[in-house]
Structure 1
């Protein structure tokens, strides 16, 4: 089992200390004479580590296999990143991968209960058939956790190394590798050295575009641009602008969920993080995914200059923006940057003597978004349609006249005629129903 140190591609794992200790224990179990008491502490540390990982990720079943699978699906190397999205590749690297997978197959095939006999415990028997408490696991969402648990079962029954490798390649093709492959959405954080790092968002709303009632023309424009992007055709940066509560952000989430399986990923960025954009782009430009850098509720006051950083990143630097990256933004302002009336008045004593240049500089940012989509507030008839549709979806059986009357009262004091107001009204009704049932 010490052959794990001979791996060529799969090295330097996160949580790799458990792997090192476990392989040492496996080696000890194969010796005719071994002092188990000298290795008890390492054994229980491994058991504890596997249970803690199961708690963090929500794993069930054979925790040893789940752990090994976690290592494989998270490890970004020359083979795994080449296989993501594209599947099987050609070249000598396949022989090196086969070498490493042969070592891992030995780890999967090892009967963990042998260690129970060595240390006179029942721990490993429990680890092999582990039942996790409900609603555990904060590192992955349920969808990803289930994929890893299912993959661990598939790898455990692979009849040989070639089948084991084929299963891994198929997983990389279907779901990707590492955090960028397994997760849909990300945000920016910083490490201890101040460098920008991409961090997965594990809890996101599973919004579908069909959930957004109305706005068929704006949604279609967004679909056409995004579909062109994920399928390798020319596409534009996109600005969704218009009234608050009209579904701009929900449309972006819906697009992500619709095209995730085709390799679409999204990274949310705030204004104060624009200085990190070049570092972020450097980390994703060579991956086999399509990335949307997403800026929600984007706008700038006249004294803010962050928009100049954004202009340079979108278009204007020496290095061309990678083809696997687009920028999508939502805003309540059509031109993003607040304009003063003085920008367009005659030059006065305190005015900018090049006022037209000032206006053009502010407008040049919005011009860098090749697709600009307007989301307007619905009129009363459209608002009623939204309310009725949402009520039907949620099983609300209130008579239509009463429903619309109550919706009218609600919107007057809760933000006016918007899709968000309609959804809040429906949530209010559902909350009242639950209270009455209780």
Structure 2
């Protein structure tokens, strides 16, 4: 059966395409009225929608559709050329869809047009993304012309981007049946930590910030290795960087060691997008028998599958050289003739990171300062001497003096209120 969306040129393979087509043909005599409305409600529940569900779903379809026009305008904004003619053609159709009113019972139509959700968070997107979609929906509904409609969508792409990379800041790798390809999946719950939340380590944060700003501004920047003692804020610093610069097009993709074989495919998926990507490797280290480092080394060194300019690698590790140095590593009489070369190859891996930033454990004075700062931030009403006495007892049985043990101590105090 013909549907108006069949006339779209750029915006093919829409998200919710079946639901949109079914709603477009809906009337009082439709056999599948209940099924179609159920489809709208299912989307509303998954994305935490409120208001006009029909318009919201259309806005979602526009926000997620990655096509020649939307990818050309993401982060950059309005583009030139004949592509605008085809985009305007499609936006005229979308504007007609926004103004469409199905011939169904008034009670059902009113419930769809003024839907009130159950107040639960979206299962698929975070609240920030959901709210942007709802604002886009209202703006497009009020557009006075096809040209204004086009400008609103284009501005949305410029400010937020398009598709999963536009609407999310952090991602993980989902392995596929194909050993050579992987799926990049959004992480919808991201820790809201910022650099100001990491107490101390000002020199380290400054180095990391400088390198990252050079990267997002299109200047030369280095792959970065944050190494040092456990619990000192290495991982938190990387998370904070992404939160700080997300609005400037920075995205992060977390990958685990056993997924390194997908690195070439991941870079291929990222190279033509208008974002800056950090591929993040947390707690990176290699044991003697592990060979995954070869995939990483190939990317760091370059070659036919070299790292694109919009991608950097940030890694954290408790080991400066990324591998465990053992007696067997150092012996000259290994059964395998090439074992020493292998060790040297692994040891040289850290040298491929142009920016190496050391995070050491705080001394007693610094640790006490972290504890008191966190106590003040979280409203702990206790004498300073008592707090420090308890904190110094706490760290003895919780891994020593570190930002992590200080944070855990404050969490403990909060639980005692």
Instruction: Give the C-alpha shift of residue 181 in structure 1.
Output: 0.7
Map 1:175-214 onto structure 2 (within 5 A). 175-191=160-176, 195-214=181-200
Aligned runs of 1:25-424 on 2, under 5 Å? 25=26, 29=27, 36-37=28-29, 39-41=30-32, 43-112=33-102, 114-117=103-106, 122-191=107-176, 195-345=181-331, 347-348=332-333, 350=334, 357-424=341-408
Aligned equivalent of 1:436: none
How far residue 353 of structure 1 moved from its aligned partner, in angstroms, is: 5.4
The CA distance in 1 between the partners of 2:4 and 2:397, in whole Å, is 69
- Matches of 2:45 and 2:338 in 1, distance apart? 62
Q: Deviations over 1:326-363 (max 9, x none)?
A: 10000011100112234445x33x46656763442122
| Corresponding residue SS for 1:197 | strand
Kindly report structure 1 stretches of 4+ aligned residues shifted beyond 6 Å.
none
Q: What value does the CA root-mean-square deviation take over the aligned residues?
A: 1.5
Deviates more, 1:354-363 or 1:261-270: 354-363
Paired residue for 1:431?
415
Q: How many angstroms apart in 1 are the aligned matches of 2:139 and 2:184?
A: 30
Q: Give the whole-Å Cα distance in 2 for the aligned partners of 1:414 and 1:127.
A: 54
The structure that has the greater radius of gyration is: 1
> Structure 1 residues 343 and 193 mapped into 2: Cα distance closer, same or farther (>3 Å)?
closer
Quote how far apart the aligned CAs of 1:15 are.
Answer: 1.7
* 1:40 partner SS: coil
Instruction: Could you tell me which runs of 5 or more consecutive residues in structure 2 were left unpaired when the two chains were aligned.
Output: none
Q: Which residue of 2 aligns with 1:21?
A: 22
**Using the alignment, how far apart are the partners of 1:190 and 1:300 within structure 2?**
21
Q: Is the 8 A contact 2:14 2:61 kept in 1?
A: yes
Unmatched 5+ residue regions in structure 1? 30-35, 434-438
Is the alpha carbon distance of 1:355 and 1:272 closer, same or farther for their aligned partners in structure 2, counting shifts above 3 Å?
Answer: closer
d(CA) in 1 for partners of 2:134, 2:302: 46
Contact 1:343 1:358 in 2 (8 A): no
Q: Is 358-367 or 157-166 further displaced after alignment?
A: 358-367
Q: What is the rounded CA distance, in whole Å, between the counterparts of 1:136 and 1:356 in structure 2?
A: 54
How far apart, in 2, do the equivalents of 1:222 and 1:64 lie? Answer: 45
Q: Residue 277 of structure 2 contacts residue 310 of structure 2 at CA under 8 Å; is this kept in 1?
A: yes
Q: Residue 104 of structure 2: SS of its match in structure 1?
A: helix
Report if aligned partners of 1:186, 1:200 keep a CA contact under 8 Å in 2.
Answer: yes
Tell me the distance in 2 between the aligned counterparts of 1:101 and 1:87: 16
State the TM-score, normalized to the length of structure 2.
0.96
2:224–2:355 CA contact under 8 A, matched in 1: yes
**Are 1:291 and 1:324, in contact at CA under 8 Å, matched by a contact in 2?**
yes
Aligned residues: 415
Q: Distance in 1 between matches of 2:154 and 2:54?
A: 21
- How many angstroms apart in 1 are the aligned matches of 2:407 and 2:189? 20
Q: 1:356 to 1:276 in 2, by over 3 A?
A: closer
Within 1, Cα distance between the matches of 2:101 and 2:328?
Answer: 78
Higher mean alpha-carbon deviation, 194-203 vs 382-391, is at 194-203
SS of corresponding position for 1:327? strand
**Deviation at 1:192?**
5.5
The 2-side partners of 1:193 and 1:362 are apart by 28
- Measured after TM superposition, the shift of residue 142 of structure 1 is 0.5
